[in-house]
Structure 1
Amino acid sequence: MHRTGNVIPEEEEQRRSVWEKNTLLIKAHNLEYEQGMHSYQPGMNHLGDMWLRRRPAWWFLRPDNNTFALDDIATKLPKAIDYRLLGYVTPVINQEEEEQRRSVWEKNTLLIEAHNLEYEQGMHSYQPGMNHLGDMTAEEVAEKMTSLVVPQARETNNTFALDDIATKLPKAIDYRLLGFVTPVINQGRCGSCWAFSVSGAMEGLMKRQTGKLVPLSPQNLLDCSSSYGNLGCNGGYLSKTFRYIIENKGIDSDSSYPYESREGKCRYSVRGRAGYCWGFQILRRGDERALQVAVANVGPVSVSINALPSFQSYRGGVYDDPSCSSAETNHAVLVVGYGTDRGKDFWLVKNSWGTDWGESGFVRMARNRNNQCGIANRPMYPTM
């Protein structure tokens, strides 16, 4: 917070309150800016703890984006917009719940600001930021957005250990640049992360086999694999989903079986089939070296991670949270590369929470940090 002069404790509290209110106003405006509703962005500056009965728009104008022309944008606005459909607003039942949502959002905003103050001091390697999950509690995100089911007993019949003879691995690899990765999709408030992880691994396999990248259908997996133990929006298994694809002899394309963010009746059609596999391999538990070998030589790999509350608000940088235990995992994602940034090794990971989350839907997670967040607990990939 910028100070406007020497202040006494009582005034310090008042200025803090003003600064926090102005921060919320700025964030609200910038959410609308991202939707094309404004031609300029405000940002916090040295005037942020000063109050004005009616703040002019230029009060928080950024010097690096100072185009302030509102006359011509009216014709570019959509005829109607509903932020509930875009995932920015949690459906509100009544005024009491709306107040609770506001309280959660304000609390998360303060946590983000506190972390970023420490980030500016060099205390963290990543930055959080407000996103469309900001009015949800950590418990709600875990219940509605993760929902990976992990087998109690480890399956050993398909366990595969890559040889350690592949010593000449590339220092970095990004399968997005190689055309193996489809655009990020927002799974919505449906615990379908497992379906997105598996379909992403299958997309990489088919790209390697055919040379073509075709988006595959998470909805197909969501609707049709319940007999294998999956629970639709309430969660699913990575390994059992691969088994479904093998025994079903395929998975439909996303264009023929689009995502709906809810479980429905199975509508798989052979005519829409765009991917298939004959088997899948599971890597050694906790072995990040084996995961690196697989990513370098095979392609994108399905993994499970421990998604902490700090993961919910991740915006950028190398996500390195020492409190992220490898003991348990609850969320399925897709490793699509690895690298090093300023001396910090990372895994490049594709999430399914939309492009407003993280680095356009991706996260760089700490690598070679004792299997942080359990990313190497249970990696697996499909085979032909």
Structure 2
Amino acid sequence: MKVFLLLNIITIVTIAQHLNSQYDEIWKQWKLKYNKTYSINDEMKRKIIFMKYVTKIHQHNLLYDLGLKSYTMGLNQFCDMDWNELKTILFPNGFINHHPLWNDNNEELPLLSHKSLPLKWDWRDYGLVTSVKDQESSCHFHLSKGIIKIKKFIDLPTKNEKILQKAVYHYGPISVAIDASIDFVLYKSGIFESKYCSSSLLNHAVLVVGYGTEHNKDYWLIKNSWGDKWGMNGYIKLRRNKHNMCGIATNASFPIL
């Protein structure tokens, strides 16, 4: 009996040492990839946070492999910060009120065609989407920079995904606000959906550049502002026609040039 218990203890210790070795290597490679350096006092704190993300991502992706999740998570440049730190850096303005980006010179949406829309659309194919940039804390898309002069902004009817789809097709990329959670921050690929994200408490501005359907799930194609190392080369597919997922159609506008 004592021998059996001793063997079990040895096995557990061996497994723990192996896992620690794996964590150390993952941590080392991640720091190299994102050029991360820390003080001696800060190193352990950041590593502990990082290891928690590694565990969360691993557990989530196991569910994806079992067909229980529609998207994968992955390590990115934010995985050494806890949620409170991330909120300060990525969403410094807190919750976004109704159309804080625009002036009051808005008007109702012009009449849209009732013709059927293509099943898939991607404005990147037509050269209307610039390359992904890392703006991090400045999540608003500065449409007015450069030589473009914006005459006014038009609000879309709130919480109406059908109108949003028509607007994306007829008018081009649409600025929207969404609720971005820690799961959103860790997104890697697939179609993101969450029963926990809000359709009214919105904290992050993004750009809808297209839409489509994949594995019988409708999605929005969204350009983010966290650089091309995040998500799918800077983009995310968000579940479409699913109860206004993460508030995608709650706060949408587009410019008239």
- Is the CA contact 2:23–2:51 (under 8 Å) kept in the aligned structure 1? no
Counterpart of 1:193 in structure 2 is 139
Distance 1:24 1:364, change over 3 A: farther
The reply to whether residue 378 of structure 1 matches residue 236 of structure 2 is no
Cα deviations by residue, 1:191-241 (Å, 9 ceiling, x for unpaired): 2101xx242xxxxxxxxxxxxxxxxxxxxxxxxxxxxxxxxxxxxxxxxxx
Counterpart of 1:309 in structure 2 is 182
Counterpart of 1:295 in structure 2 is 168
In terms of Rg, which structure is larger?
A: 1
For these two proteins, the number of residue pairs brought into alignment is 248
Distance in 2 between residues matched to 1:187 and 1:180, nearest whole Å: 19
Cα deviations by residue, 1:7-33 (Å, 9 ceiling, x for unpaired): 94772464255235315414643774x
Counterpart of 1:240 in structure 2 is none
- Is the CA contact 1:162–1:283 (under 8 Å) kept in the aligned structure 2? no
Aligned with 1:177 (options 110, 119, 125): 125
With a CA cutoff of 8 Å and minimum separation of 6, indicate the structure with the bigger relative contact order.
2
Counterpart of 1:168 in structure 2 is 116
Output aligned runs, 1:58-97, within 5 Å.
Answer: 88-89=35-36, 92=38, 94-97=39-42
Distance in 2 between residues matched to 1:335 and 1:153, nearest whole Å: 16
Aligned with 1:360 (options 225, 230, 233): 233
Counting aligned pairs with the same residue, the percent is 33
Q: CA deviation at 1:340?
A: 0.6
Counterpart of 1:345 in structure 2 is 218
Q: CA deviation at 1:312?
A: 1.1
Aligned with 1:112 (options 53, 57, 61): 57
SS of structure 1 residue aligned to 2:128: coil
Distance in 2 between residues matched to 1:161 and 1:287, nearest whole Å: 12
Distance 1:20 1:282, change over 3 A: farther
Counterpart of 1:75 in structure 2 is none
SS of structure 2 residue aligned to 1:347: strand
Aligned with 2:96 (options 126, 145, 150): 150
TM-score when normalising by structure 2: 0.86
The two structures, once aligned, show a CA RMSD in angstroms of: 2.6
- Is the CA contact 2:27–2:50 (under 8 Å) kept in the aligned structure 1? no
Counterpart of 2:69 in structure 1 is 124
Distance in 2 between residues matched to 1:357 and 1:198, nearest whole Å: 20
SS of structure 2 residue aligned to 1:275: coil
Aligned with 2:208 (options 335, 354, 369): 335
Cα deviations by residue, 1:235-269 (Å, 9 ceiling, x for unpaired): xxxxxxxxxx5xxxxx32xxxxxxxxxxxxxxxxx
- Is the CA contact 1:162–1:293 (under 8 Å) kept in the aligned structure 2? no
Counterpart of 1:11 in structure 2 is 11
- Is the CA contact 1:147–1:193 (under 8 Å) kept in the aligned structure 2? no
Distance in 1 between residues matched to 2:22 and 2:80, nearest whole Å: 18
Structure 1 segments (4+ residues) deviating >4 Å: 7-10, 152-157, 162-165
Cα deviations by residue, 1:65-107 (Å, 9 ceiling, x for unpaired): xxxxxxxxxxxxxxxxxx5xxxx43x74x43332211111111
Distance 1:165 1:353, change over 3 A: same
Output aligned runs, 1:14-29, within 5 Å.
Answer: 14-19=14-19, 21-26=21-26, 28-29=28-29
